[in-house]
Amino acid sequence: MANIEDILAVERIDNDIYRGGSFPSHLRRTFGGQVAGQALVSATRTVDEKFAVHSLHGYFLRPGKPDMPAVFLVDRIRDGRSFVTRRVTGVQDGEAIFSMSASFHITDDHGIEHQDTMPPAPDPETLSDRTDSATPAQKMLLAEWENFDIRIVDQENTAKLPGLAAQQRVWFKYRKPLPDDHLLHVCTLAYMSDMTLLGSSSVIHRDVKTQNASLDHAMWFLRPFRTDDWLLYDQTSPSAGGGRSLTQGRIFDRSGRMVAAVTQEGLTRSGVPESAASIMRPVE
């Protein structure tokens, strides 16, 4: 697998037009985190450094082709004194595969502060990385993410909160040291945020094979963080029905600071052939 720096190194083609690289993949469609990460990098290239991204909202419109680069077209929607807004469209073969709005905020603003408490979870070093026990389909997906250390907390060791339908907790980080570039860590977390989240909808449906794909993805960046250090992804799925599942995630660093929040709706269609379901089935 390519390094995350290479994946996120989009090429400038013209004013507000960028191209993301393509990388060898076993997946039938481009991993959604790659498309979102490259789109976010493209947007940030058009924004003054005094602004930092605080939120993104994206829609996966068509399956991306892993063996083909995507072109990202950036629209400068708004340039204000405190906030900047960009819209990005990812294109392959003349068709839009991804659409994203991203909002940027000045970095020296001040206001009230509070956050949720980080939920309990075993130390990541005590958890297996599951490479040995994974199914062939899961090993294929893990191979796509070989530069990321992903440790899922077993359901029996997950301290459940009352009233929530489905819950899952995951520790993850990038395996190699990364530069002290906050923008790189932000875009890397945008890539990582698509990992395992849709899988939280399946933890109470273990015996149901589903066809899975990300449909839309929203993310808020709350505090500085590093993606080459452990982050806890506290995931829930409050609702599933009609072939779709809603999932939510809160991301904490090891000190308990809430650094990001994610909401995603994904396709979780049942009654499909195993060959179609397995290739994109989440690592559980």
Q: Which residues are catalytic?
A: 194, 214, 264
23: tokens are 């990388």
- What is the Cα gyration radius of the chain? 18
CA dihedral 41, 7, 210, 282 (to 10 degrees): -100
Residue 93 CA to residue 228 CA, distance in Å, equals 35
86: tokens are 């960009």
Question: What are the residue ranges of helices labelled H in the chain?
Answer: 4-7, 32-44, 136-144, 182-192, 274-278
- Which H or E element spans position 180? none
Contact 178, 227 (CB under 8 A): yes
* Contact residues for 186 (Cβ-Cβ < 8 A; gap 6+): 40, 52, 53, 221
Residue 94: C-alpha distances to residues 35, 72, 90, 109 (Å): 16, 11, 10, 40
Dihedral sign from CA coordinates of 37, 52, 3, 280: negative
Contact 56, 36 (CB under 8 A): yes
For 262, other C-beta atoms within 10 Å of its C-beta total 22
Contact 262, 251 (CB under 8 A): yes
Residue 6: C-alpha distances to residues 3, 173, 203 (Å): 5, 17, 33
